[in-house]
Amino acid sequence: MQINSTLYKKSKYNKLVNTILSSALLTLTSQAIAKDSVFVGHLADMSGPTAFVGKPYANGVRDSLAYINAHGGINGTQLDSETIDYAYKVPQAIASYKKWKSRKKMQAMQGWGTADTEALISFVARDKTPVYSASYSGHLTDPMGKNPHTKKPAPYNFFYGASYSDACRALVQWAADDWKNKGRKDQPKFTHIGANHPFPNAPKAACADYAKELGFKVMPAVVISMKPGDFKAQCLSLKSSGTNYGYIGNLGGSVISLIKSCNTVGTNIQFMSNIWGGDKKVFEAAGEGIKDYVFPTMTPFWSDKVPGMKLVREISKMSDKSGKKERLHHYMRGVCSVYFMKEAMEWAQDNGGITGENIKKGMYVRKNWVPKGLEGVCLPATWTPEDHRGINQVNIYKGNYNNGKVKIEKVTTVTLERRDDWLGY
């Protein structure tokens, strides 16, 4: 059979053109897919010593990321994410961060604990990766390293809420007023209670300084484990020192053990806790022994009727289709953290693209900023290139457990000064 050489050549040419076009189309499609997603890492403690509150917070983050994607992402750009349970282990957190940067080209991260967040400060600054942590360490609030108390400048670290130091200062301010309202003329005594660990220690010196400034006698710190245990010896120490107000730096089972141990030995003390140490689960687990327990919040509670709770309840359905599961206020802070990041990403997208550097710039463009749809849930926040103390308002609540029921009522709101000597401290 004779083959037409001209037709054969054309056939080979067409195949070659089709191959080139197909290859180009695949490349363009891959590029389009790559441009239509941005990676966000998510570190969570689901099994370690802070899992008691780590789980609800992580659920707030994950549900928010899923809800944003289900409703168009960042104007069409999907948030590719991965949650790693690092069990509160710093080496695991660092390894996960490095993996995400090298393999996933991560542009932002939702973080968790104080020890790991502080250990990553230099990495994220070098890589220009904004980190939205659930650590509210005052050390993360000084982006330029202006204050001599600042461990390291933290230009790429953000968090939603008052710092641990500012929240403790607000509690001490409340305690000073409480002492006066009781008609006491003698000097009140203040003691820091917590593990010898970066998380409980974060506000320790700063809060003690302010307590002295307000006229308290600051007693030696009392150390208790982050794990549940028998703390009768520590409670006897608090009793013998005559401590009037004790700030608890721990959370979960450790707090419950402390309350029960102190009740057993008859320690008469006004407990005040950090934001992770006060929630409905703590009251239910401590039972009848918990009385007038004071703690700060940065969001309303599940049953509160504020406009933004409508969106929170819709977000909650991403992991609870029934919509009936009650969420702790820790969950809501996870939601706020993601939504501040989301709106910074939207600004970045319109101003050069969603990169870590542009997301950071997007954190500075608004004042008294509340994410759209979360009015009444997230407090108005303002971050600047010189000051990452986004929130200086602390809502203080008092909780009791009586006859099988938890009662939580608001005590006061403290708005703190943005003192230069408190920046990064």
Q: What length is written for the chain? A: 425
In whole angstroms, what is the distance from residue 310 CA to residue 308 CA?
5
Tokens matching residue 105: 């080209």
Tokens 């600051």 appear where?
A: 218
Closest CA to 359 of 383, 381, 380, 376: 383
Closest CA to 130 of 41, 69, 200, 242: 41
In the chain, domain spans: 38-162+305-362, 165-297+393-422
Q: What is the 3-state secondary structure (H, E, C) of 7-70?
A: HHHHHHHHHHHHHHHHHHHHHHHHHHHHHCEEEEEEEECCCCCCHHHHHHHHHHHHHHHHHHHH
Fold agreement between 38-162+305-362 and 165-297+393-422: yes
DSSP 276-336: TS-SHHHHHHHGGG--SEEEEESS--TT---TTHHHHHHHHTTT-TTS-----HHHHHHHH
Encode the chain (425 residues) as per-residue pLDDT tens digits.
444 544 444 455 455 445 444 444 444 444 444 459 999 999 999 999 999 999 999 999 999 999 999 999 999 999 999 999 999 999 999 999 999 999 999 999 999 999 999 999 999 999 999 999 999 999 999 999 999 888 799 999 999 999 999 999 999 999 999 999 999 999 999 999 999 999 999 999 999 999 999 999 999 999 999 999 999 999 999 999 999 999 999 999 999 999 999 999 999 999 999 999 999 999 999 998 899 999 999 999 999 999 999 999 999 999 999 999 999 999 999 999 999 999 999 999 999 999 999 999 999 999 999 999 999 999 999 999 999 999 999 999 999 999 889 999 999 999 999 999 999 99
Cβ–Cβ contacts within 10 Å for residue 264, how many? 13
Handedness of CA 134, 136, 137, 143 (dihedral sign): positive
What is each CA distance from 45 to 40, 59, 158, 187, 220, in whole angstroms? Answer: 17, 11, 19, 40, 31
Closest CA to 254 of 279, 234, 288, 230: 230
What is each CA distance from 23 to 17, 19, 26, 33, 362, in whole angstroms? Answer: 10, 6, 5, 15, 37
Question: Strand 37-44 and strand 78-85: pairing?
Answer: parallel
Domain 165-297+393-422 fold: Rossmann fold (3.40.50)
For residue 69, the one-letter residue type is: N
Angle formed by the axes of helices 51-70 and 329-350, nearest 10°: 40
Is 183 strand, coil or helix? Answer: coil
In the CATH hierarchy, which top-level class contains the domain 38-162+305-362?
alpha beta
